[in-house]
Structure 1
Amino acid sequence: MNIRVGQGFDVHRWIEGRPLMLGGIEVPHNQGLLGHSDADVLLHAICDALLGAMGRGDIGRHFPDNDPHYAGIASIKLVKHVYGYMQEQGWQLINLDATVICQQPKLAPHIPRMETVIAAALGCDVEQVNVKATTTEKLGFTGRNEGVAAQCVVLLQRP
């Protein structure tokens, strides 16, 4: 059995006039995130972790931000595309553990729905997906409400 670990990290800046997309759902907030796609920082970190575990580069290599095809795209579509690639290569998700780092908004009420959406996109049980949220105690760019960061670790197997 072949087992691999992948990690992903992403950051996006706050911007006015956009919905906040995190984990494939819209989270009520007065700002959204700046990006070429819907700027779902959590899903971008997940894509990077999955691609990294497979040894296939990163999200920018597969979905370049200068390609108009991906302008405004829902990041859940990117996750589904990566999942399709995983299947083609014979990989299966063992588990996914992710953390969203932001001072606001409070994410705890939204995490179960995020986990459900992510699990559905990856064709796995929701028990294989763990999403957490934390603040930086008002330190750094996330603490100053300049943006949001996310990190993710995945474990894949290929029998």
Structure 2
Amino acid sequence: MSAPAAPASRADWPEIRTGIAADVHAFAVDDPGPLRLADLDWAGAPRLSGHSDGDAALHAICDALLSAAGLGDMGEHFGVDRPEHAGRRSADFLAATLRMVRDAGWSVMHVAVQVVTRRPRIAPRRREAEARLTELVGAPVSFAATTTDGLGALGEGDGLLAQAVATLVRPGDPARPA
């Protein structure tokens, strides 16, 4: 069996882009609401402060997707200066972001998210978070966590950082110059 033929020119190749983003939120220690992360509620940690529900994982995913597609960032589309977004679920932002990405001709290949935090413990619910994020994004999402070994504000437990990398693909276009 012979290998498939390579595309006639680079113009026929699919276009692949990668976006990277990070989002940091402090814990709202005076707010008894549940921590919302990866579109799940987590016991044992206070709510994240924010204009919306503060889901740093979804915010990082949105920014990584927008970056890869060349569509700006969350502040441009859902900024804190827009009162209609106050208290909104971050899953709504993700759905709107995915529509923008798809309308621009892109498909999501994969997203990776890493959370840097002391709490909550991610490992017991990692698979659940991956399943939920994969469902929301419509493509495979990996979810991991680490700590800062007690260093800095994150290490002291003042908040958490979520980082995301998104890979998008757009089919090759024979009309595009090589």
Q: TM-score range by the shorter chain?
A: over 0.9
Write the distance in 2 (CA, Å) between the matches of 1:131 and 1:107.
9
Q: Secondary structure at the match of 2:132?
A: helix
Structure 1 alignment gaps of length 5 or more: none
- 2:127 and 2:97 map into 1 onto residues whose CA distance is 22
Counterparts of 1:98 and 1:77, CA distance in 2? 18
Equivalent residue for 1:6, pick from 5, 19, 26: 19
CA drift at 1:123: 1.9
- What is the RMSD computed on CA atoms of the aligned residues? 1.0
2:54 is aligned, of 29, 39, 61, to 39
CA distance in 1, matches of 2:73, 2:102: 17
Are the equivalent residues in 1 in contact too, given 2:45–2:119 (CA < 8 A)? no
TM-score of the aligned structures, taking structure 2 as reference length: 0.84
Letter in 1 for 2:104: Q
Q: For this pair of structures, how many residues does the alignment match? A: 156
Instruction: In structure 2, list runs of 5 or more residues that go unmatched.
Output: 1-13, 172-178
User: Does the CA-based 8 Å contact 1:7-1:49 persist in structure 2?
Assistant: yes
Structure 1 stretches of at least 4 aligned residues deviating more than 4 Å after TM superposition: none
Is contact 1:5–1:156 with CA below 8 Å preserved after alignment?
Answer: yes
Q: Is the 8 A contact 1:83 1:121 kept in 2?
A: no
* 1:8-56 deviations in Å (ceiling 9; x for gaps): 1000001132210000111112411100000001110100100000011
Residue aligning to 1:50: 65
Give the Å deviation of 1:68: 1.4
Identical counterparts, % of pairs: 37
